[in-house]
Amino acid sequence: MLPIKAVVVIALTVCLTASTFAAYPHCCRRYMIGRLQDSIIKGYSVQTDTEMCRINAIIFHTKKGKACADPALKWVMDAVDRIRNKAQKIHQRSSQGRKKKTI
Amino acid sequence: MPRSCIIALVILVLTCAGSAAGFIIHRHTFIYSAEDLISNQSYTTKMSNQSYTTDMSNQSYSPKMSEDENNYNGSDNLDYDGFCLFHNNQSVVDVIGPYVHSIICILGLVGNSLVIVTYAFYKRTKSMTDIYLFNVAIADLLFVLALPFIVYNELWSWPMGQVACKLLRGSYSVNLYSGLLLLACISTDRYIAIVQARRSFRLRSLSYSRIICAIIWIFAILVSVPTFYFYDWYEPSHTNSIMMNDDNQSEILSSEYVCEFKFKDRDTAMAVKVAVPSTQISVGFFLPLFIMIFCYSAIIDTLLKAKNLQRHRAVRVVLVVVAVFIICHLPYNIVLLYDTVTMFQQRSCEEADMLEMAKTVLQTIAYMHCCLNPVLYAFVGVNFRNHFRRIFRDLWCLGKKYMSPRRFSRVTSDFYMSSTRRSMDGSSNSGASFTM
């Protein structure tokens, strides 16, 4: 009866530690209506349909939460480009600063 | 055999009625979502036209948008703009995940290991059905053993890594297919034994059943190859976000691993995401269902014609076996079918949440079937119960004698002798495989 004991132990440990689960990474299931203002977009992530999710989407992070946008729309990719360009500038600035320091 | 046809028809009609009811329930939400989508599309095109024709300046759309935004937040403040958090499903998973599944796991483990032990040590003479039942018990046991690991990993962002991911998902699939197809084999064997009794001596040999079992296990493995191949352990790309915090750019890398589908290109992704659940519905449910309905309706027909005192009990057992199979698997497969058909459609968060919750609950009901199999197939049989009683008697005797360690060696040989003798005795009255 050893396996039964083992399962009881496993089940008990699972039950006892059940209160703090890791958040499951959810997917966008539909695209948002309308468009977001640039000022409230804090960042973005990319959802692809070659992974666990069913549709391609750009997830914009805002103060209020996450919004799912259709990557086929122009404003969505413009917003993504803007964030990317901003990041690029910061990257160049910081790498220049580092060069100066090393010189 | 007209009467068997009528019975088969009745069961089929009942099944269809059940599925129709399922679809009617869903039709309401489907119509809602379709209307919703159309209105959304027209709205988005209107919006984009507006914004693109009047230059790309912020002022052109900001007043209208702020109004729209307020409306949107008012109506839906939990799931913001299409990113569903599945609150209802999550609360159901939190309960079913650890608690209900551990009950299923313990019951399934006890029941199926008792069946395996009984067949391995006691029931020497085996019929075809016995061999199938032994294999069903093995499939169910492996399934039940994998279940706590799958639940544990899904709750804790899959800490056990790539090998465990492929093995657990793959073995889940293999055991699902082999278990359900073996139940169909049992119904076929009983059909041959009862309805085609004249041919049964030729068709029901043990070597046949071993070959059939091997074929079914190989088939189950082959059908599960896509699952083995395409399930992967990875961090989904959408968990990595690029954030802008007041002119500071930072990439937030989370460590949320999942064990889900992953593909190289889009076409395979589309094909496999539909093909895997479709195969599960057709081969893992409808194929065994139709075989069972055909065989058992013919069996009931034959039993009702026969002049036997035990026939009512046999008919009842057959009906219970079919009913339990349908109750456990039909609802889940209907929801799975609906989910597969509407796989790539956009869904409102409420609908997606409801569908996920239904899938979670109904899948658990389908899991329960592997705890019920030992009761429905093995413990119903009189012979099996006799063998099973002997196990307990022998274990009890062994336990008592085990207390005095001096006589241990003699006791074991005694125990072995007695068990073999008893199983020889038992062989005399185990002619029929359809023991009830």
Interface mutation target, options B71, B83, B391, chain A, most CBs of A under 10 Å: B83
**Average pLDDT, whole number, for chain B?**
74
Q: How far apart are CA B11 and CA B14, in angstroms?
A: 5
* pLDDT tens string B402-414: 665 544 444 443 3
The answer to whether residue B423 sits within a structural domain is no
Domain at A4-102, CATH class: mainly beta
HEC profile of chain B:
CHHHHHHHHHHHHHHHHHHHHHHHHHHHHHHHHHHHHHHHHHHHHHHHHHHHHCCCCHHHCHHHHHHHHHHHHHHCCCCCCEECCCHHHHHHHHHHHHHHHHHHHHHHHHHHHHHHHHHHHCCCCCCHHHHHHHHHHHHHHHHHHHHHHHHHHHHCCCCCHHHHHHHHHHHHHHHHHHHHHHHHHHHHHHHHHHCCCCCHHHHCCHHHHHHHHHHHHHHHHHHCHHHHHHEEEECCHHHCEEEEECCEEEEECCCCCEEEECCCCHHHHHHHHHHHHHHHHHHHHHHHHHHHHHHHHHHHHHHHHCCCCCHHHHHHHHHHHHHHHHHHHHHHHHHHHHHHHCCCCCCCHHHHHHHHHHHHHHHHHHHHHHHHHHHHHHHCCHHHHHHHHHHHHHHHHHHHHHCCHHHHHHHHHHHHHHHHHHHHHHHCCCCCCCCC
pLDDT score at B106 = 93
* pLDDT tens string A1-46: 456 666 565 555 554 444 445 566 788 888 888 888 888 888 899 9
Check if the beta carbon of residue B377 is closer than 8 Å to that of residue B133. yes
pLDDT score at B63 = 34
* pLDDT tens string B101-140: 889 999 999 999 988 988 887 766 678 888 898 999 999 9
Q: State both tokens at B245.
A: 């915090």
- Residue B400 or residue B287, greater confidence: B287
pLDDT at B316 over 50: yes
Count Cβ atoms within 10 A of the Cβ of residue B397 and give its class: 0-12 exposed, 13-18 middle, 19 or more buried.
Answer: middle
The answer to whether residue B168 sits within a structural domain is yes
Mean pLDDT of the region B91-109 = 86
- Say which CATH number the domain at B312 has: 1.20.1070.10
Q: What is the CA radius of gyration of chain B?
A: 28
The answer to whether residue B30 sits within a structural domain is yes
Domains held by chain B: number = 1
- Chain A partners of B262 at a C-beta cutoff of 8 Å? 50-52
pLDDT at B416 over 50: no
pLDDT at B360 over 60: yes
CB contact under 8 A, B244 and A42: yes
pLDDT score at B67 = 36
Interface mutation target, options B117, B153, B238, chain A, most CBs of A under 10 Å: B238
Interface mutation target, options A10, A33, A48, chain B, most CBs of B under 10 Å: A33
> What residue numbers bound the domain in which B116 lies?
3-398
Residue of A nearest to B107 (CA): A4
The answer to whether residue B64 sits within a structural domain is yes
- Chain A partners of B352 at a C-beta cutoff of 8 Å? 29
The answer to whether residue B435 sits within a structural domain is no
CB contact under 8 A, A29 and B109: no
Who among B65, B244, B258 is closest to A25 (CB)?
B258
pLDDT score at B286 = 95
pLDDT at B180 over 90: yes
pLDDT score at B140 = 94
Listed in sequence order, the residues at least 6 apart from B160 whose beta carbon sits closer than 8 Å to its beta carbon are: B149, B153, B168
The answer to whether residue B372 sits within a structural domain is yes
The answer to whether residue B393 sits within a structural domain is yes
* pLDDT tens string B221-230: 999 999 999 9
In angstroms, the separation between the Cα of residue A45 and the nearest Cα of chain B is 4
Lowest mean pLDDT among B28-37, B191-200, B245-254, B391-400: B28-37
CB contact under 8 A, B346 and A61: no
* pLDDT tens string B109-120: 999 998 898 888
- Chain A partners of B256 at a C-beta cutoff of 8 Å? 22-25
